Amino acid sequence: MTDPHKRDSLYASLKLTSQAIAFLTALTLIFSSLLPLPAWADYGDKLPLPQPSFKGKIGLTYKESEPDFPKPIKAPENAPNILLVLLDDVGFGQPSTFGGLIDTPNLDRLAERGLRYNQFHTTALCSPTRAALLTGRNHHSVNTGVVEELATGYPGYTAILPRSAATIAEVLRDYGYNTAAFGKWHNTPDYETSAAGPFDRWPTGLGFEYFYGFLGGDTNQWSPALVENTQHIQKPNRPDYHLTPDLADHAIKWIRTQQAIAPDKPFFTYFATGATHAPHHAPKEWIDKYKGKFDRGWDKLREDIFARQLALGVIPADTKLTPRPAELPAWDSLTPTEQKVYARQAEVFAGFLSHTDAQIGRVIDAIDQLGELDNTLVFFIAGDNGASAEGGLTGSVNELKVFNGVAESPQEVLAAFDDLGGPKTFNHFHAAWAWAVDSPFQWTKQIASHFGGTRNGLVVAWGDASGGLRQRIKDRGGLRSQFHHVIDIYPTILEAVGIEEPEVVNGVKQQPIEGTSLVYSFDDPAVPSHHKTQYFEMFGNRGIYDQGWVAAARHGRLPWERVSKTTFDEDNWELYDITKDFSEANDLAKQNPDKLAQLQNLFLKEAKKYKVLPLDDRLLQRFDVKIRSNLITGRNSFTYYTSVAGIPEGSAPNIKNRSFSITADVDAAKDGTEGVLVTQGGRFAGWSFFLQEGKPTFAYNLFNSDRTIIQSSQPIAIGKSQIKFDFTYDGGAPGAGGTGKLSINDQQVAEGRIDKTVGYRFGLDETFDVGQDTGTPAVDTYQTPFAFTGNLQQVTLELK
């Protein structure tokens, strides 16, 4: 451009345009700053929230520029802290808060400052309840129709939480909360829980910034399979160690640290104890508090619980106590010795629950000491299902027998009387105790058709008597009887915090939340329930609730049995009007067949909608790790070059019901080199290949009832040696025996017969370890970790 007048005119025009843009931008910034909405308000349906756009000014240098540093996402104003407590295997009638005989003073005091819910429901089993709780969707909708260890290849049963159902922890974290989980997880496929991951379905991959606890379905309270974030770790080395106080210690430390560093940032703490799932482990002083208190037996004590529930008002005055099923014995039919043993089993459980309540009380006290309890929304769910009858008709000193379909004799239980609750047992109580403490309902855990399997006490507390903040609870000590389900906790949290249900999380469109918020019930005990319809299903036990009516079909396998006695077509359907019949005592199926047919059709409709089909009542077959695709699928040879710990059974070589060989290449620098070469399982079932005083040894532990030791009479020499164990399986049904042979440098040095083997599972928490033993020992001739003192060059395991 050569004309200077045109050039100057253009420059002036550009200057005016630039000034106009700056003026309009300034106006926009001024008016937007006056709006009350948070910065993320326009993006709340998509998570994570986008980083705000730059609102400063960019000049040629910093002197002509204005910074606008990105601000962290802040939770909504006055957003409460959240403490979500979940107990394990607690019946509706066990805590004193709901009329039980077991003292739970900390749950009591929480109920006095909040609300009791007496028609709150779970799914009847561990993993499914947890999946539903954390996602706000029905358990089959999030592929968790059964526990992780029994997953199958059907859509509702893979045990793989879908990305389309983000957990409440993911949502809260993205809205500015700090999040942590402590205790039992049980929502990661067991074949994904090794050091190789993948870790996206561990707690830290599903919204929790910190995790301390265990990943499996249960664990030894005295010697747990601990995980911190994504690392398998050893328990603290303390002679009085017990898991529940350890969980409380870590939760308290995390909350105090979080509040010290970021006091204006709310926290979400998920505290899910391994208690009171078997093994029932508790300090002796807590067990002894209940000495003699269960001597009158389950029939009379169930009546006592029922009377206490009526007096407390947690059940309606016209409730009927349902009778004992014929499958369970009357207390008076037992021998004095049996009564003595079974009463002790109940004492142990009672001590376990009271001890657990005390640890949760410590966490609540710590929040109170920080001045944050009035601003903490507390959910205390007393059980992820009804009390467990999986101990069978004798109780058990080794729950792994139940999982392998092996009967336990009364003599074995009696012999362990003095050890019940301690580290030498993996104990459970008699099935009749589970029925008794599920008062006033029928049945127990696993039986999703009836409330004994699904009705759990819930306490919700939030704020002080002065009210104020949003929907704080003012009816302190009140009772709520609206019908609700564990999927309702998620939307309750969203409403209480003041955030919307996200439509997209991490780029994935979300399934609709299937629960209903409880907030509407906080201020009105008489308002009708917003949760209108709810299906139930577990192991083929089916139920459907619809606006006050329930249809129920218990399937033909009892919780302690291996196989069903009926087909699904043979199951008997019952009908109850629970608006008039709180405990399901009056079956109306014959009087009202049309209503029953309507509900049966509704169940099938819901089952199709929520991926419940196909119905599957198998148990032992689904424990077999071979039916799931995993890290070991298609492999017959495994080599380990270094010390390895914490490999779960689903990711370990599967030596069950087959021949195998183990070869260890070692270099001994001195005589008497010893330690574990490779081991799996522990005190209650497992095996170990090790050197003791230099002598190669193979030990096989059949459910802590029978141990076979095959040991060389001669030690290995100083220097390099190859040690081998060959097992030839007899074949036939699962759990058959075989012959084992030991050799050093291709020379056989020992041979022995193992008459029976473990057919299905070595455990739910014990692991496969190389070069050390991280859990309990398979034999008592060594103490863990018994790390190998020589140079373990490699271990190879061949499946044949």
Q: What is the pLDDT of residue 576?
A: 98
Cα–Cα distance measured from residue 357 to residue 105, given in angstroms and rounded to the nearest whole number: 7
Say how many C-beta atoms besides its own lie within 10 A of residue 417's C-beta: 14
Q: What is the pLDDT of residue 43?
A: 54
- Going by pLDDT thresholds of 50, 70 and 90, the confidence category of residue 444 is very high
User: What is the model's pTM?
Assistant: 0.92
Of the candidate ranges 297-311, 452-466, 702-716, 753-767, the one whose mean pLDDT is the lowest: 452-466
Q: What is the pLDDT of residue 122?
A: 98
> Percent of the chain at pLDDT above 90?
84
**Tens-place pLDDT, residues 352-401:** 999 999 999 999 999 999 999 999 999 999 999 999 999 999 999 998 99
Q: Indicate if the pLDDT at residue 625 is higher than 90.
A: no
- Tokens matching residue 681: 């399982």
List of residues 6+ apart from 558 with CB closer than 8 A = 327, 389, 431
Cα–Cα distance measured from residue 7 to residue 134, given in angstroms and rounded to the nearest whole number: 66
Are 610 and 544 in contact by the 8 Å Cβ rule? The answer is no
The residues that bridge with 231 in the sheet, in sequence order, are 228
Element (H, E) at 362: helix 336-369
Q: What is the pLDDT of residue 629?
A: 80
Element (H, E) at 354: helix 336-369
**Three-point CA angle 444, 242, 124, nearest 5°:** 15
> If you average pLDDT over residues 710-732, what whole number do you get?
97
* Cα 321 from chain centre: 31
Nearest partner of 98 among 368, 401, 306, judged by Cα: 306
Q: Indicate if the pLDDT at residue 7 is higher than 50.
A: no
| Beta-sheet strand order (sheet of 541-546) | 533-538, 541-546, 549-553, 573-577
> If you average pLDDT over residues 749-766, what whole number do you get?
94
**Tens-place pLDDT, residues 96-118:** 999 999 999 999 999 999 999 99
Are 488 and 531 in contact by the 8 Å Cβ rule? The answer is yes
Q: Indicate if the pLDDT at residue 42 is higher than 90.
A: no
Q: Indicate if the pLDDT at residue 310 is higher than 90.
A: yes
Residue 709 CA: distances (Å) to CA of 12, 131, 426, 675, 781: 98, 42, 22, 16, 10
> If you average pLDDT over residues 492-496, what whole number do you get?
97
Cα–Cα distance measured from residue 769 to residue 690, given in angstroms and rounded to the nearest whole number: 12
If 0-12 CB within 10 Å is exposed, 13-18 middle and 19+ buried, where does residue 369 land? exposed
Alpha helices of 66-206 — where are they, by DSSP H? Answer: 105-112, 126-135, 168-174
**Tens-place pLDDT, residues 523-557:** 999 999 999 999 999 999 999 999 999 999 999 99
- Going by pLDDT thresholds of 50, 70 and 90, the confidence category of residue 14 is very low
* Residue recorded with tokens 């017959």: 636
Q: What is the pLDDT of residue 469?
A: 46
Three-class SS state of 460: strand
Q: What is the pLDDT of residue 321?
A: 98
Q: What is the pLDDT of residue 44?
A: 58
Of the candidate ranges 202-206, 327-331, 561-565, the one whose mean pLDDT is the lowest: 561-565
Mean pLDDT of all residues in the chain? 93
- Going by pLDDT thresholds of 50, 70 and 90, the confidence category of residue 706 is very high
Q: Indicate if the pLDDT at residue 577 is higher than 80.
A: yes
- Tokens matching residue 572: 């008997």
Q: What is the pLDDT of residue 3?
A: 52
Element (H, E) at 376: strand 376-382
**Quick check: bond before 279 cis, omega within 30?**
yes
Q: Indicate if the pLDDT at residue 148 is higher than 90.
A: yes
Q: Indicate if the pLDDT at residue 316 is higher than 70.
A: yes
Q: What is the pLDDT of residue 37?
A: 45
